[in-house]
Amino acid sequence: MDEWVAQMFNWASIINSSINIVVYIWLNKEFRYQFARAFNSKWLHIEVRAINAAHVVRYLERRSPVTVIAPTKAPTRTT
């Protein structure tokens, strides 16, 4: 029984390590870039560029200058 429990924990740690790599690639931009560089992955480089471009677009949309409308003279009532 001890052998079975040890193997179960061994497989659980292997699965956890695999999931960690996927989560880091998905969430961490710097790790994604370094991972793509280390493995020279053309597909991952394309993904990194697309994600970085999306970040830039979102940043520019968020930081776009606000259009200021000059106040106009309120209409006056004539009686």
Q: Is residue 70 part of a domain?
A: no
The whole domain housing 25 covers 2-60
Q: Is residue 71 part of a domain?
A: no
Q: Is residue 50 part of a domain?
A: yes
pLDDT by residue, tens only, the chain of 79 residues: 688 888 999 999 999 988 988 888 778 778 777 777 777 766 666 666 666 666 655 655 665 555 555 556 666 666 6
pLDDT at 22: 83
Total structural domains in the chain? 1
User: Between the CA of residue 39 and those of 2, 30, 34, what are the distances in Å?
Assistant: 38, 14, 9
What is the spatial distance between Cα 58 and Cα 64, in angstroms, rounded to a whole number? 10
pTM to 2 decimal places: 0.38
pLDDT at 26: 79
Cα angle: 37, vertex 41, 45; to 5 degrees: 75
Q: Is residue 77 part of a domain?
A: no
